[in-house]
Amino acid sequence: MGQIFGTDGIRDRAGHGWLSPSNVSRIARAAGRLLRTSPARFRTSVPGALDHLKGPPSRSAPGRGLVLIGRDTRSSGPAIESALARGFAAAGIPVATAGVLPTPGVATLTRRWGCALGVVISASHNPPGDNGIKFVSPQGFKIPDAAEAAIERALGNGAGPAPSGKPSVPRDLSDRSSDYLDFLAGLSRPLSGMKIALDCANGASSAFAPKLFERLGARTIITNASPDGRNINRDCGALHPEKIAAVVRREGARIGFAFDGDADRLIMVDEKGAVQDGETVLALCGLHLKEKRKLPKSTVVSTVMANFGLERTLAAGGVRLLRTNVGDRYVAEEMLKTGTILGGEPSGHVLFFDAAPAGDGMLTALRVLGVLAERGERLSEAAFAKFPQVLLNVRVARKPEILEVSVLRKAIAAAEASLGSDGRILVRYSGTEPVCRVMVEGPRAALVDRLARVVAAAVEKELA
């Protein structure tokens, strides 16, 4: 049958493949049956250091026993929502819908409302014609790999066709989505009079970010907050930070925030109009938490692609950078395993496990503003010097273990010797394409470029 789940749930063209109405209902039916017979498999193992993220605040939480479904602003969302509801109903699982809600909002409310499971309908930063399905554990994290594998096995063993008959009517909890805004507002200090530019990517943050920042007293300049189902991420948002940078410069804003379609990522623009990514957040907040003795194990988690300059900057402040495979899923898993509370990627997906179980662009913005206020700084002062980086992609015909190929092993060793302790080289295969990626970082752009080209040529000669 092949793998259904990728590193970030299920994604496809809306209405096609595993996102066809019949297959969406099959997936929900399989997940519902597993949820009914063995709910423990969907729960996330949370270390004691994160006890505050284990469950809902009270037995009166509105979602107890329900599967909570939220979606972004894509026009295909309501149809997928209906297909999911039919599938869960066929498995005897009651459903509640939250309407348009950011991915982190689904995660937060799944936990706070005591839901049995959360489901997000979103393709995040993908084009409007795509969509996806992500399952959220009762604690608000992505469900364990074993749970996704169990759903795939159930489908492969014949979870049954899509149910027929009238669609069930889920419980509508969209009027309670303000609980998510209350949660975020409770984490922030007042922003009285601060001039803030927001780019909502015509996505899920459109109905939330303007209300949040205005509620906190900011003077907001709102852009791309008029979703029509077809304009999500289109020439706007976190994928196009130059747009909000132009607004910041034109309007003289203190800071600019650009979200992606489902609002789990944030790219920032400082008061000078310079773009600052997730690594700036990790440096600023990691060092601040370390100074306040609130950074467990003095460790921040990011991926193998994190810039060497970030590692050097953190190390100078006594903070270790722990690297994982590329993907926020792997960052979150490492954080759960090690009991750390701060991690993320350059893309702007940042996790603050001391506050919430999921990456949240609006939460990240509030945390950055809070740290800057405590330190009496502007965002431009939090920037650090990144090392020059070159990334080359080489198409390959085979994928042997890289260090078992003598020519490649020698080329990599020679590059490492040239860089010494002032840089690094990473050679890895793509997980989805016949491509080998060669990444080199170092103190001088010319050196980095030359070493990357030498190693890439060796890859092409041996593996193409």
Whose CA is closest to 206, among 188, 191, 192, 227? 227
Burial 338-355 (b: 16+ CB within 10 A, else e): bebbbbbbbbbbbbbbbb
| Distance in angstroms (rounded) separating the CA atoms of residues 249 and 255 | 10
Strands in 105-254 per DSSP E? 117-121, 130-136, 171-172, 195-199, 219-223
Pairing of strands 171-172, 95-100: parallel
| Distance in angstroms (rounded) separating the CA atoms of residues 14 and 172 | 24
Q: Identify whether 421 is a catalytic site residue.
A: no
Whose CA is closest to 366, among 200, 245, 218, 204? 218
Pairing of strands 67-71, 389-395: unpaired
Cα angle, residue 106 at apex, residues 14 and 66 outer, rounded to 5°: 95
State whether residue 228 is helix, strand or coil: coil
Which residues have CB under 8 Å from 169's CB, separation 6+?
A: none
State whether residue 132 is helix, strand or coil: strand
Whose CA is closest to 32, among 66, 62, 82? 66
Residue among 25, 82, 122, 124 flagged as catalytic = 124
Residue 304 neighbours by CB distance under 10 Å: 13
| Distance in angstroms (rounded) separating the CA atoms of residues 134 and 345 | 19
State whether residue 204 is helix, strand or coil: helix
Which residues have CB under 8 Å from 115's CB, separation 6+?
A: 63, 64, 65, 66, 67, 68, 96, 109, 138
Q: Which residues are catalytic?
A: 124
